Amino acid sequence: MAPDTADYDYVVDASGGGDYERIQAAVDDAKSFPRERVSILVRAGVYEEKVRIHSWNTKIDLVGESAAETVITGDDHFDSVGRGPNSTFFTYTLQVRGNDCRMRDLTVENSAGLDADQAVAVHVEADRAAFEGCRFLGNQDTLYAGGEGVRQYFSDCYVEGTTDFVFGGATAVFEGCELRSKADSYVTAASTPEHEPFGFVFRDCRLTAEPEVSDVFLGRPWRDHAHVAVLRSHLGAHVAPAGWHDWSRPEVHDTVTVAEFENEGPGAADADERVSWATELTPDAAERYATENVLDRDRDPATPGPWYRNPVE
């Protein structure tokens, strides 16, 4: 059933049947720092544009007609942007810096290709950013979940890539997501700040791979205090028995936190097969990684439900 356009402030339609033909135009016309949420419906189509949700574009709801048919795509990559050693952070197809952004049923793609270098599809530095039923397609560095002290939530999303395809320093929970490896490499590269109690938390996820992929690590530390936990998830046979890699820096064994709890599947090796500096959580320790504790631990219980449970209307 097609969505009722009356439920949205703006409608974007690449074929000309809406208020705008480009997503960026709708975002740019949205009120800065609005008191009420701004809802944008994106009709099915392929949108070849670089979309920026700026820090003043808070409370944006961006909703696609369906993730399979509503696609934002671009092909910038490290060498093509030519911005020096930090070029990776200019390659995004979609950048989100506005707090309290919510997205649903969209595909965001970096189509630079397997032979390209770092090429980000989604770059998120916003706090309280939530993504539901989205698809993030790319190769190396597909999803940058960044920003010190910010919290992000991914529910029922699909993320694919080759190397470090979920990376950054945000506190981010992935629930019911599929992480698909396209090469023998690493899923995560966390750069969790030292003072943050959590980094990337994967709960009830599926780690899958292309048929030819057979040797993938759950993660390697981008910075010295990387923190990644994988709980009650299904790990395919492509996950290496060692589980984790130290990026050839044994000095980080005492500073990083990599943890697992009640994972299953052929890649869920026994603790004695994992690297010695990985942790198999006890039930009590695993409770610390409950979504509400990771993302909303400071919320006043008297206030309405947590921000990450509020669906896009």
Residue 1 exposed, middle or buried by CB count within 10 Å (0-12, 13-18, 19+): exposed
Q: Locate 143 and state its tokens.
A: 């999803």
Q: Locate 168 and state its tokens.
A: 């950054």
Contact 187, 216 (CB under 8 A): yes
Contact 159, 130 (CB under 8 A): no
Q: Show the CA angle centred on residue 225, arms to residues 223 and 230, nearest 5°.
A: 100
Catalytic residue among 76, 141, 246, 296: 141
Determine the Cα–Cα distance for residues 37 and 72; give it in Å rounded to an integer. Answer: 22
Determine the Cα–Cα distance for residues 170 and 68; give it in Å rounded to an integer. Answer: 27
Tell me if residue 249 falls in helix, strand or coil: coil
Determine the Cα–Cα distance for residues 307 and 90; give it in Å rounded to an integer. Answer: 29
Q: Is 117 a catalytic residue?
A: no
Catalytic residue among 61, 164, 246, 296: 164
Q: Is 164 a catalytic residue?
A: yes
Determine the Cα–Cα distance for residues 309 and 239; give it in Å rounded to an integer. Answer: 31
Active site residues per annotation: 141, 164
